[in-house]
Every structure is written in C-alpha cells, then in structure tokens.
Structure 1
Amino acid sequence: MQSNNKPNDNTNAGIVGFNNGEEGFDFKYLVAKVAGNWKWFVLSLVLCVGLGVLYILYGIPTFTISARVLVNGANSSKINSGVTETNMLSDLALFSQQNDVNNEIQELYSRTLVEKAIRDLQLNVSYWALAGVRFAEVYKKSPFFIDLIELKGGLEDPLGWDVRIAGDRVKFMDDYTPDNFEAKWGDTIRKKYCTFVIKKNPESPEVKDSTFPLGLKINTYPATNYTYMENLLVFMTAANTTLMDVTFDVSVPQKGEDFVNYLIKLYVDTKVKANNSIADSTIRFIDDRITGVAKELSNVESQATSILTSGGITDINESNKQLTGEKSEASTALENYKAKTDAVDLIEKYLNDPARINSPLPTASNIDDPTYITQVQKYNTLQQQRETQLQFNTEKNPAIINIDNQIAITRGILKNVLATYRESLSFTAASLEKRNVDVIGRVSKAPVQQRQYLEASRRQDVLQQLYVYLLTVREQTAVTKSNNIAPVRVIDEAKAAVYPWWPNKIIVIIAAIFLGIVIPSCAILINELNSNKVITPADISASTTVPIIAEISASKSGKAIIVSKESRTAVAEQFRTLRTSLLSKLSYSSNGSSNLGKVIMLTSTVSGEGKSFVTLNLATALSLAGKKVLVVDLELRKSQLSRDLGIDDKEGGIADYLEKKASLHDVIVPSGVNENLWALLSGTLEANPSEALLNERMKTMFEDMRSKFDYIVVDTPPAAIVTDAQVIGVYADITLYVVRQKYTFKKHIDVIEDLKANNKLKNMYVILNDVKPVPGYNQGYGLGYRFDEDHGYYTEEEKTEKKSILQKIFPDADA
C-alpha cells in the first residue's frame, strides 16, 4: 500500500500537481485572485471614477489668493541721541535685514491681526444660495446682508437658517430647532447668542421667487480664526531678499482678496500707529525739557542785561576772557552731565507715574547707555503688544496678564539700569566739579562786575545751545512722525488664481483609480483573513499531511445520484477520475495481496458535508466499471442512503443481521441503480449503535462481503461526533475523509491530522466536496485543469433553480 505520509501525494481530480509544501509569497495566486474578481474590480473602478468625475464637476473649488510685499526695514529717519539700539546691534553683527523680514512674517501671521480682520469684515458670516445642484457661498452677491452687532460667547456650533425673501419680508427657518422668525429690512434681530440688523443688498437683483433657497450661517470667531490661520501662509519669496509672499486658500475668490488686502492694510496701520505713539511720547518729553530750559535761559539773559546796565561795563581784558572761557568749558561739561541726570530723573518719573504705566517711553534722550536703549525698545514693544491685544480682550485675559507681568519686569530692570547709570554720572560729575572749583578760584581774582557778566554770558551761551538742540530734535521727531512710512510696501495686491487648484482633475482621477483598486483588494484581503472555513486545498494542506485525492464540484441538478452510463457532466467525470485514482491505490497493498483492497470507508467531521452523496456516487462509478459493488449504510443513527435510493430500510438491514441473526443474503437488496450495485441498509436498531457495532458478527459480515463483492463502499457517521467511524475503521482498507467547501471549519482539519497521527483510521485521503468556482483558485495551480471549463467535453447539468440577476452577473457573489 502506498504511504500516505508524503505531503505531495495529490493526484487529485480537479487540480493536478497541487503542492501543499509551497511556502512564501505566491505571486501567481495573487494574480489569479485579482483576475478571478475582475468584475468586482471593474465595478469598483467605474463607481470610484464616476464619483471622482462628479466631485470634479460639482465639488466646491478652492482658489489660491496671492499677494507680494516688500519689507522696508527699520525707519532710517528715526532720530535718537547717543548710541542707538540699531547701531549697537549692527556693531555686534546681531542685526540684519534678514531678521527684519522674519519679524515681519511672524507679525503679519499673528492670530490677533487675523481675528481683527475677521471681526472688521464679518468674515464669520457667510451667505449661501442654490447654484445648480448644490449650495454655494455667494458673498457680496447675496440679496441680503446682516450687520452683526454682537456675538456672545458660549456658542459651540455655528448658527444657521434657511432664508426666503418675499418682497420686504425675510423669513428665517431652522430645520433642527423651532427658531423660525420673520423680519423686515432694517429690523434688529436679537437672539440668544447674537444680535444683528437685516439689510438689503442694493447691488443684487431683486428676488422674485419667494421659494428660492438662500442660507445664512454665523460661525464663532475662534472657529473662523482657526480656519483662516490654517489656510493663510506668509513666507519669504527668495533667499537674500526682503520680499515676502502672502497666500490664502479660499472657495470664494473675492472674499479671499478682500481678506488678504485688509490684513496687510491692518498690519501697516497697526505698525504706523505704534510708531506714532512712540513719537508722541518723545515729543512730550522734549516739550517738557524745552519749557525748563527756556525758563532758565530767560533768567540768565535778564541777569546779564542787569549787570551791563548797572555796572557800565565797556571792556573785558583777554586774561579774564580766557579764565572765564575755561570756567565755561568746565561748566558746560558739568551742565551736560546735569542734563543727563535730569533726563534720568524725568524717565524715572515716567516709570513711577501710575498714569503713564501703560504708555511707551520716549526714545529721544541724551541717555547713551546701551543697556538702557535695549530695555526701552523692549518696553515699548511690549506696550504695543498690549495695546493690540486689548482690542479683542479684556485686561483680565491671561494673555494681557502675561504681557503686564513682562512689562513690570522690564520696568524694574529699567529702574536698576537708571540707578547704575546715575551712579556713573555722579562719579564723573564729582571730577568735573573739582575742576570747576579750581577754575572758579582763578576767575574770582578778576573784577567782580566783569566776572559776573562773563559768567552770565557763558551760562547764556550754554543754555542757548541746549535750547536750539532741543528744538532741532523736536522738529526732527515731528518730521519723522509725519514721514512715518509703512513697514512693508505692497508690490502685488491680493489676486485670485484664474483656475482653482482644487479639485485637481489629475489627482482626483488618480485617487479614484487607486481607491477603485484598493477597496476590492482590501475587501478580498479582509475576507481571506477572516475566513474560518475551508475554501481551497491549501486550507487543508496547511493543517494536515493527509493528501487530497479528489475535488468534487458542486452539483447543480440537486439529484442524489448524478453518475450514470449516459452522464457526461463535469461532476460525473470527477467521480470517474476519483474512481481511477482510488483503484490505483487499492491495487497495491503492503503485502501485495489484492484481496485486502476492497473496503472503502467514507466519513467526515460533522453532518452535512456530503459524505452520503459521495458514498453513493462513488459506489455507482465503481459499479459502472463492471465491478460488483455493495454500498453499506453504517450510519445507524441518521441514515441517508435509504432515502436517496428510495428503499424502505424497515424491512431489513444491518440491524436484522446483528440483532435478529438474519443471513447476509437476506438483508442485501438491489439498489435499483444498475445491476452491479447492491445495497445493505441500516435498518432499525433496538440497542445503542456503538454497542451494536462491537457485535462479533461485524467481523463475519465484512468477511462475507469481501468474498461476495469486488468493492464495498461504507458510509459511516461523522468521526468527530461519535466513535462509530473508528470502530468500523478496523475493517476498512482505505478511508476517504469528506470535507465540504465553505462548510467545514478550518479548525476541523486538525481532527483529520489527529486521526492519522494516532493511527485511528487507515490509509486516509481527503475529498474536497461541493467545490464552487472561487476567484483566484483553480487559476495558476498545477497544470490548470478546471472542470468549469469543459472545452466541449462535458454536458451541462440540469438546473433545478433559477438564479437572480445579481448571481448571473456575479456567479461568485457568495464567495
């Protein structure tokens, strides 16, 4: 007998040369699987491409709005006395035009500016109208507008109404809430979350159809701001340039253009306003200094005039002039340091004044400390940020509180810097004071009236120079303010692209094709992964080394016996092929005796796998070969063969043989199929079937059957349910284990391997029954023999039922 331990022993009917030892990725199987499901792929591609075309035709388009601006950099006309912050940073190579551009990009892209633009233009309000088959935003073409007076917080979802216009009446309807109302043009509507005024658009044609669909949507400011920030992009046009591009993606071109242009204008206005605020603060500081110097200068001039008129002075010798000049120089230096000290006092006064706590500090002063200049610039920047944030937030907002904390810290640093600067001024002033005392001692020897006049005259000159300097700085600051240029210059105003960038036809079609392939592929993959039933021979070979001897296709006729002399159907030929394979295995036994190769036992794992169907048709095929065949129904619990043969088994059978001692000749009856096929039916047992099978007459029965028949085909109960099959298996020469496609669970194949490994059944082979065409299977394996492609060799079976239209289009729909 041929060994059944060879994993490649698969001379099966239906697929020749199937190799259950294949491992790794099977590309041929993949191609066959795709080819077998080509109808699903075509259907998926048609649907996806069709949806893609509809999306291209009716999807909401997205346009890119573009603008280009030139960064002007720092204002070169800005006047500062002493060492400026810009000069200091330039000397340290820490300040460049590149940094200016990056700063402008970040400021232009700020959330605060975007939100202010949205509020000012009311971009969170959108107007909709029916355009063809879908609603589209109409923006300024809407026949009505609203002036949004108030939008309260706490709103989570957008507010929306369907709008209908009939003459001077405007009807608002909400399908999801009972919030329906009517109003006239100019009415003020007060709702729970908003207040607005209804206005008529004079530039839009009058709505004549009162049923024409219109819509109004009011979104929250945070949600709108988030959307706009997501679609806004500000970037440098090219390296080593001061040009930057502003782009914005939007579905309504004009709306996008208005937003970008207004955003740039708002940014420019904000920067100019901040610069003017600093200039105003500087002018106020200079005016205070001019007032004090003018008063002192007036006093000195009066004093000099009084000395001249009262003393009658007409000549001053050169020596006295030289001494007085030295005193004047010393006094001038001392006055300069005194002026710096006064400036420190004034700045400290500004810092300590509660009324000026939120005002910028003057930048034009004679304080030349670099640290002070840096901190003043930082302080004024924080004040500008605070002023901008207050346009949208209250002083209790965390952002405002954070800026206030930074301002307080910077104010403290400025006070410390000024205190240190004052100490350095005091040390220098002490040295100058000593020099001035020495000069005064020498000047004191001159005539009193001349000395007094010269001192007053020199003092007058110093104050006049200081006065002229302050006037000059004030005028320069005023000119700077009047010529305060914008930080950027618009090169190209915002303009929408001619064509929308989305939907992109090429991308959409490619994506549709991709999805058309991926969707059925994923469905096939998921079906393969989730399949827990036997579909292909590979599912069997993966769990057992028992070879597959045959595959029997699904019968369309519904008959119990489909094999006959006249039958040429594919299923009948498969049974004939099984017969040939089986005879070749029965003709050889382990000891060379042909008498031992007669008993063929069929079993399965559970009921319903077609075991009795295979038994009856295999027996018929053997009988048609001229052999005397006996089909034995040892399914004592649930007999099926008697019903298939149309014979009443109550008159006799195995039960009578075992329990009533009837002779074998009396219980064997003609099958009625053909003259060579006989039947031994089960009958009706009184005892338990398992105990009946252990009757000593069982051995005698099989010996008698062997002597009288060429082949005995035995139908037995399922092996996984009861032990009857194992008891009967000792009398069999070969065991055929029936597995049904899409019915037998894959885990049940482990039962087959267990029976073989433990030698519970002899010479086991598997028959895959009720095989239907499965996409990817029977394509690309072995020699490619397929019984669903008869090439004219087979006849068509008679069908007992009609298929639905879907089954006719997709015969593998149940796969």
Structure 2
Amino acid sequence: MELLDPNISHQKKINFKKEIFKFLKYWPWILLSMVLFYTAAFLYLKYTQPQYLSKTTLLFQESDADKGALSDLKNLGMGISGDEELQGEAAVIISKPIIQKVVKNLDLNVSFYAKGKIREVELYKMSPYSGKIIFADKDFQEATYFIEPVNDNSFKFSEGPLLNSKNTFKYGEIVKLPWGSVVIKRNFKGYLPYRNLVVFRSNKIAEMQLEKSITVQLPKGLLMDISLIGEAPNKSEDILNELTEQYNLDGVNDKNAEAQNTAEFIDARLDLISGDLGKIELDKENFKKANKLTDLDVQAGIAVNRLTGNVENIYNESSKLQILNSIYDMASSGKDQLFPTGLGMPETTEALLHQYNEKLLLKKRTLNQATNDNPSIKAFDKDLAELSYLIRNSIQEARGQAQKNIGKTNMEIGEDKGSILKFPTQERVFRNIERQRNLKESLYLYLLQKREENAITLAVTTPKTKLVNPAYTVGIVTPNYTQVKIGAVSLGLILPLLIIFIVNVLDNKVRSKDDIEALVANIPLISEVPHSEIAKPLIEKNDFTIFAESFRILTSNLKFILRTKSIQKGGVILVTSSVKGEGKTTISTNAALSLAGSGKVILIGADIRNPQLHRYMKETREGLTNYLVSDNISIQKYIVGSGLSESLDVIFSGSKAPNPNDLLDMKKFDDMIDELKKIYDYIVLDSAPVMLVSDSLHLVDVADIVVYTVKSEFTEKEMLMFASNLKKDNSINNMVFVLNNVKPEYSRYGYKYGYGYYNDSNKKSFYQRLFRL
C-alpha cells in the first residue's frame, strides 16, 4: 500500500547481492586487468635475473680453561671462550685482508657475461674465456668491453675504451688498455668462444661489492652461518669456501706467530746457557787437574747428604729468579712483543702473559684494517700498558719471594759450612763449581724440553674452525615466483575493484531505483522509463516494447493513485523536474498518449518560458499565454488535436510572456482547469523545472498528483534532497517520482528480467552487452 501512503518510510536492509553485482557487472574489465597484471608478472619473472642464496656453516672449538701438566699439548688449536669473542670473529671473517685474498685468488675483479636482449647472465666457470688484471691505474674503477673470437688463437675487444685502433690480441699475451694491462686466456672447460660481455673492476670495487653481499649470523652454540646472495650459485659457493679457507689460514698464522716468538726466546737462552755450561765444565776440569782430585763423593758424603736439600732449593729458586729477570727485562723494554709462556712461572704471572699475548695479537689483526689513531688501537695500547704494569708487579713479587727463599737457604748453608771446616778449601771450591754446573744443566734441560713442545705446536696446523656444512645453494630468493604471481593476480583484482569503488563513492548521479529509495524514502517511485536510442521517443499504437510497457506501468499507477483519491474524471497530473534536460516533456507526452488509450486526455504546455511540446507535434502559434491575457472566456479556441491520437488534445504554451508567475497564478487559469475537468478524463500539465523557476509551484494547488521526473545518470543526488525539501516545505502530499532514461544494467527491465515476448528493435549484440558499450 506504499502508493496509497507515500509518507511511509522504510529502513532498508543492505542488499549484499546487489552490492556484489555492482562490481561483478564489470567482470570483463576485472578479468582483463588480472590477465594484464599476470602477463606483466610473467614477463618480469622471465627477464629478471634470479638471485640465489648460498650458505656455509662453521663450528668453533671451545678453548680449554684447565691448565694442567699437559695444557701445552691440549691447546694446540685456537679456541673461542665466549659469545663476545665469537662476535669479534664474525667481524674478522669479513675483514678487508681476508676479502682481499678471496678477490685475488678467485679473480673476482674480472667477470664474463652472456649478453641477451634484456638481461645479462654471468657465465663464471662456463665462460669461453678467463681473465686477470695484471696492472691497473690508481684511479681506475670499471671498464666494459665486448669480446669475441677472431680465430682459434686470437680475440678482439669492441665497444670499449680502447687505447688505439688495434683491438685484436692473442690469447695469453699482455693486453695494454688505457687504464692498465690484462691477460685473456681460453677456458676449454667452458662454452665454445662467442661474443660475450667482459667487465673489469678495480680490486677496491670488487672487494666492496663482495663485502656488502656477505651476511654473517651467529646461531646458538659456537656456530657461525655465512650466507651470500648472487646471480651464479657455483660462484657464490666458491667464494664461501675460499673465505673459510683464508680465515682458517689466518688463524693458524696468528697461532704460529706466538709459538715462533717463544721458539726464538728459548733458542737465545739455550745459546747463552750452553756457553756458561761449557765454561763451568772447563773450570771443573782445570780445578781437578790442578788439585789432583778424583772422586769427592766419598770425601764429602756426610756433608753432601746434609746439604742436599738446601742445595736443591738454591738450584730451583735461582732458576726461577733468572727466568723472572729475563721476563721482567722484556716487560720493561716498552716494545710490543709476545712473551714466552709455559716456563714454570707462578700461575698469576702465567695468566697475565697469556692475556697480554692474546690482546697483542688482536691489536695486530685490527691494525690490518685501521691506523694507529683509531680509538680501538688506542684502547688496545692502554690495555697492553696496564697488563705490562701488572706483569712487572707480579714478577717483582715473585722475585722478592725467590730472593727471600735463597737468602734463607744460604743462611742454612752457612750454618752447615761451619760443620765442614775440616774439609780442604779445594773441596769447597769444587762443590761451588759443581753447584753452578748443576744449575746451568737443569736450566738447559728444561729449555730443551720446552723447545720440543713448542716445535710440536709449530708443526700442528689445526684450523680455528670445523666446516660443518660446506658451501651449498639453498635456492632462489629473489624474485619469489609464487609471491610475484599471486601478488600480480591480487593487484589485478584489487586495482579495478578499488577504482570501481572510488568511482561509485565519488558518483553523485542518480542511476537506479535504489539510489532514490536510499536518499528519499518518503516519496514513492511509481515507474522506471528505460533508455531509448531514439532522439524523440514516442509510444505507438500496439507498441509492445519495453519503453511502451514502462509507460503502461506509469499510467496504471497514476490511475490507482487517482482512484484512491476518489477522482474518477478530470484528474490533473503535473509533470515537473529539478532542472532542464531531465525528460519531463518526454514523460508528459508519452504518459498522455498512454492515458489516451482508455480515456480522453488533454496535454497542456505549462512551461511557458521554454516550451518543448513542439518537438513531438506540430505547434500552433497561440496557446495558454494567449488565452490567459485575452478577454476570451472560452478555452476551446486554443485546444488543438495532437495528431498522435484521436483521444489526445493539446494546448500549447503560446506566445512567450514576461511574467509567467503572474499568468499561472490567475484565477482564470484555475477556472480553465475546472472547465477542462468536465470535458477530459485526464489533464496532463507539462511544467517548468522547479529548481530553476517558481512557475510550477503555482500549479501544485490545482494538481491531483505531482510527477517529479528524475533522469538516470543525469540528475544529481542533491537534487533529490531538493525534491524532498520541496515536498516538506510546501506540504505536497501527492508527489511521486518517475525515473527516466534507465539503462538495462540499472533497471528491472535488464536483459535478465526483460519481457521475452516483446520486440526490442534496439537490442544490443552480445559483445556490446558484454562490455557495456
């Protein structure tokens, strides 16, 4: 009963199916977008050089903190004592000296590529050529040439900075170029020679590129993962293997440097003690010859037994004292040198010496990448000075203790000497010589033992790390084929949907019945007039098109509304709109033709400012304005046949008047309507747009129903609010909407729900309907 009570307001639910079909009706364009994006992704993946991830894993040995009797043989390798030291090793493994060796050994500053139309592929070991830079200028950075074979023994350069017109050279000869000299050789393990691209880079650039591409990670435990992303997986694997090898060689060299310094110290002490021992032996021999002595053991048995313990103490303490003095002299020299270790010094002193040696080695490795002014070098110097000071203090304490023990022992020996005064002076002198000999001999044997242990350390080349996983290639990391394809399809789907959504959001035009009902629910929509390709569409007799059917529905609803108002004859129908061009004249003319099929109808051109009825029928000069300004009482003079239907008459607008508002507001106009109601079943008023002029407002009072015309894809939604306010402000209770010029996709008369038994001469082809052309 909506037509009976147009003030009923409905709270409409969202029609999800309809909202979805707003997007689905553009499915050809969405599908085309997805195909285009997928094609672009396919071309991108086809012509993009893939990047491969290669990895290797190293395991570090844990250092042995126990310092037992066999500690020198247990720690022949170099271990890691904690996470901080492991992080330091992570920086060392990609330090510039090691990177330089890798670049030099693998000739990474020369690369050969297969040149395609779009991309270049590095050939590496499969290249027909191999190259090496012999010399390069200081300012040289990079040079690119095309290289191609001339014959089996020669090749030529092209498209590069050549020195002169000569560009043909022999394999293996030195080629002089503007920036340096290179050597090109045949690689018989690669492809047959053909035209390739060769790139020469400076060592600095090659090292920089390699350093940026290497990533070091420290998982749990003493493991280290080294990864490299590159175009050629076999090249990346070779780089990682070479990097590991050079790092281990660097560690072995560091370990041997400490052992070599210890060996030099022991050899120097052995030379000195050997000379002293030879001199003592000669003194002993001369003393025995001079005093004709043979065996003193029997003579001094008792005294020797009594003094044995004290003599041994003197030997031990004197040996320690000499070693401590030598180490103290080294510590006082102020030079950066490695201290000998493992010579039987006190544990505190031994630990400080180990710590000093480790700090000094770390400083030397840091100097490979920094200068003496570097804050890290200065920090090392400070730490080494502090350790040297602690070493000297520790040695002084040990020397004091040794001297104290020697003094005490000498006192005890002095007491014993009083008991052996009966022995000849020769015996005392001989024992003194023997004591010196035993002292030097024990020290000599001790140093021989340490020299052998140190020689074993030098001979063992245990690497710093264990290779857990040799270099291997994980796979392609970029581009991610699956993600790119899914992303392209998703973007191809989302982008048109987003564009459609934005267009719909920004669209301020009325297009369908739902737009009207969503904005103005208190004014009923009684008909949708479909779009027609004809410039001046008129319904005809026995017209069964959808266009004609829409007007039958319109007139049926108008009759129904008039009957509810108990109007059986003379119903006045006012047709208006918001602005010009919304089709109110088309609606009024065709509505009048449709009504004429069941009664007598008159169509009045009430738009006296811009009359349009002449577009559909032959106009007369005189009409409504002439009647209103004349003294003629009868309207019959101005009524003419429409020529479209025998039951349809017309009163044209007539001459243009300067005061349309005053004319339409005359009592004579109201009397005319009353007179026409007696003659005609329906009176249709084609009025002016209410938003532009106020002429039509004077006609509302005489109208039984106001048909407000809205044009699909033309009328703006704000105009609907104007119509709603017009109804509210003027208390118009008989206003209804007619939606004009509705295309099939916005109408219930679309192809899916059209009346199949009606003939539509303007029916579009499948291709046109598919792309909404």
Shorter-chain TM-score range: 0.7 to 0.9
Q: List per-residue Cα deviations over 1:336-373 (Å, max 9, x = no partner).
A: 25523532441343xx22xx4xx666555646337625
**In structure 1, distance between residues paired with 2:4 and 2:100:** 86
Give the counterpart of 2:17 among 28, 32, 35: 28
> Could you tell me which residue of structure 1 aligns to residue 156 of structure 2?
169
> Could you tell me which residue of structure 1 aligns to residue 510 of structure 2?
534
How far off its partner does 1:326 sit?
0.8
> Could you tell me which residue of structure 2 aligns to residue 771 of structure 1?
742
**In structure 1, distance between residues paired with 2:593 and 2:163:** 80
The change in CA–CA distance for 1:696 and 1:278 in structure 2 (over 3 A counts) is farther
The change in CA–CA distance for 1:6 and 1:322 in structure 2 (over 3 A counts) is farther
Conserved in 1, the CA contact under 8 Å of 2:546 and 2:749? no
Q: List per-residue Cα deviations over 1:75-132 (Å, max 9, x = no partner).
A: 8899999989999xx9xx9958x99988877755678755753465354654332458
1:614 aligns with 2:587: yes
Q: List per-residue Cα deviations over 1:244-289 (Å, max 9, x = no partner).
A: 7765454334323322322222222222222223333333343444
> Could you tell me which residue of structure 1 aligns to residue 561 of structure 2?
585
The change in CA–CA distance for 1:645 and 1:490 in structure 2 (over 3 A counts) is same
**In structure 1, distance between residues paired with 2:42 and 2:576:** 58
> Could you tell me which residue of structure 2 aligns to residue 368 of structure 1?
347
Conserved in 1, the CA contact under 8 Å of 2:147 and 2:158? yes
The change in CA–CA distance for 1:79 and 1:674 in structure 2 (over 3 A counts) is same
| TM-score, length-scaled by structure 2 | 0.80
The one-letter code sitting in structure 2 at the alignment partner of 1:750 is M
Matches within 5 A, 1:482-493: 482-490=459-467, 493=470
1:473 aligns with 2:454: no
Secondary structure class of the residue paired with 1:581:
helix
Give the counterpart of 1:40 among 12, 29, 33: 29
How far off its partner does 1:146 sit?
5.1
Secondary structure class of the residue paired with 1:4:
coil
> Could you tell me which residue of structure 2 aligns to residue 732 of structure 1?
703
**In structure 2, distance between residues paired with 1:129 and 1:765:** 76
**In structure 2, distance between residues paired with 1:748 and 1:301:** 129
The one-letter code sitting in structure 1 at the alignment partner of 2:184 is K
1:682 aligns with 2:646: no
> Could you tell me which residue of structure 2 aligns to residue 280 of structure 1?
260
The one-letter code sitting in structure 1 at the alignment partner of 2:156 is R
How far off its partner does 1:488 sit?
3.5
The one-letter code sitting in structure 1 at the alignment partner of 2:603 is V
Give the counterpart of 1:73 among 61, 64, 70: 61
1:417 aligns with 2:390: yes
Conserved in 2, the CA contact under 8 Å of 1:170 and 1:183? yes
CA RMSD of aligned residues (A): 4.7
Q: List per-residue Cα deviations over 1:359-399 (Å, max 9, x = no partner).
A: 66655564633762574365145235425536xxxx38xxx
1:563 aligns with 2:539: yes
Conserved in 1, the CA contact under 8 Å of 2:103 and 2:206? no
1:270 aligns with 2:250: yes
Give the counterpart of 2:178 among 184, 190, 211: 190
1:752 aligns with 2:726: no
How far off its partner does 1:135 sit?
4.2
**In structure 2, distance between residues paired with 1:544 and 1:217:** 76
> Could you tell me which residue of structure 1 aligns to residue 184 of structure 2?
199
**In structure 2, distance between residues paired with 1:794 and 1:220:** 84
How far off its partner does 1:795 sit?
1.3
How far off its partner does 1:549 sit?
1.1
> Could you tell me which residue of structure 2 aligns to residue 811 of structure 1?
771
**In structure 1, distance between residues paired with 2:261 and 2:109:** 37
The one-letter code sitting in structure 2 at the alignment partner of 1:578 is L
Secondary structure class of the residue paired with 1:598:
strand
Give the counterpart of 1:405 among 362, 378, 396: 378
Give the counterpart of 2:366 among 386, 398, 408: 386
Q: List per-residue Cα deviations over 1:203-249 (Å, max 9, x = no partner).
A: 366767xxx5746486996798568755757676xx88x88776545
Indicate the structure (1 or 2) with the bigger Cα radius of gyration: 2
How far off its partner does 1:461 sit?
2.6
The one-letter code sitting in structure 1 at the alignment partner of 2:300 is I
Secondary structure class of the residue paired with 1:524:
helix
Conserved in 2, the CA contact under 8 Å of 1:233 and 1:248? no
| TM-score, length-scaled by structure 1 | 0.76
How far off its partner does 1:603 sit?
0.8
How far off its partner does 1:552 sit?
3.3
The change in CA–CA distance for 1:301 and 1:525 in structure 2 (over 3 A counts) is farther
How far off its partner does 1:329 sit?
0.3
How far off its partner does 1:486 sit?
1.7
The change in CA–CA distance for 1:618 and 1:425 in structure 2 (over 3 A counts) is farther
Shifted more, 106-115 versus 627-636: the winner is: 106-115
The change in CA–CA distance for 1:535 and 1:382 in structure 2 (over 3 A counts) is farther
**In structure 2, distance between residues paired with 1:689 and 1:405:** 102
The change in CA–CA distance for 1:669 and 1:791 in structure 2 (over 3 A counts) is closer
**In structure 1, distance between residues paired with 2:545 and 2:96:** 78
The one-letter code sitting in structure 2 at the alignment partner of 1:255 is K
Q: Which segments of 5 or more consecutive residues in structure 2 lack a partner in the other structure?
A: none
Conserved in 2, the CA contact under 8 Å of 1:444 and 1:451? no
The change in CA–CA distance for 1:243 and 1:406 in structure 2 (over 3 A counts) is closer
Matches within 5 A, 1:282-681: 282-294=262-274, 297=277, 301=281, 308=288, 314=296, 315-323=299-307, 325-330=309-314, 332-333=316-317, 335-337=319-321, 339-349=323-333, 352-353=334-335, 356=336, 366=345, 368-369=347-348, 372=352, 375-376=355-356, 378-380=358-360, 382-383=362-363, 385-389=365-369, 395=371, 401-422=374-395, 424-425=397-398, 428-429=401-402, 431-445=404-418, 446-447=420-421, 449-490=426-467, 493-494=470-471, 510=486, 513-550=489-526, 552=528, 554-589=530-565, 598-604=572-578, 606-624=579-597, 626-642=598-614, 644-648=615-619, 651-660=621-630, 664-681=635-652
1:127 aligns with 2:116: no
Secondary structure class of the residue paired with 1:559:
coil
**In structure 2, distance between residues paired with 1:218 and 1:722:** 82
Q: Which segments of 5 or more consecutive residues in structure 1 lack a partner in the other structure?
A: 9-19, 779-783
How far off its partner does 1:645 sit?
1.3
Structure having greater relative contact order (Cα 8 Å, sep ≥ 6):
1
The one-letter code sitting in structure 2 at the alignment partner of 1:527 is V
The change in CA–CA distance for 1:636 and 1:75 in structure 2 (over 3 A counts) is same
**In structure 2, distance between residues paired with 1:139 and 1:724:** 89
How far off its partner does 1:746 sit?
3.8
The change in CA–CA distance for 1:132 and 1:811 in structure 2 (over 3 A counts) is closer
Secondary structure class of the residue paired with 2:159:
strand
Conserved in 1, the CA contact under 8 Å of 2:607 and 2:688? yes
**In structure 1, distance between residues paired with 2:571 and 2:672:** 16
**In structure 2, distance between residues paired with 1:728 and 1:115:** 97
How far off its partner does 1:402 sit?
4.1
> Could you tell me which residue of structure 2 aligns to residue 12 of structure 1?
none
The one-letter code sitting in structure 1 at the alignment partner of 2:625 is A
Matches within 5 A, 1:786-797: 786=750, 789-790=753-754, 792-797=756-761
Conserved in 1, the CA contact under 8 Å of 2:706 and 2:735? yes
Q: List per-residue Cα deviations over 1:433-466 (Å, max 9, x = no partner).
A: 5523532432453445544443443343333333
Secondary structure class of the residue paired with 2:519:
coil
How far off its partner does 1:730 sit?
4.1
Secondary structure class of the residue paired with 1:187:
strand
> Could you tell me which residue of structure 1 aligns to residue 7 of structure 2?
5
Secondary structure class of the residue paired with 1:793:
coil
Conserved in 1, the CA contact under 8 Å of 2:103 and 2:203? no
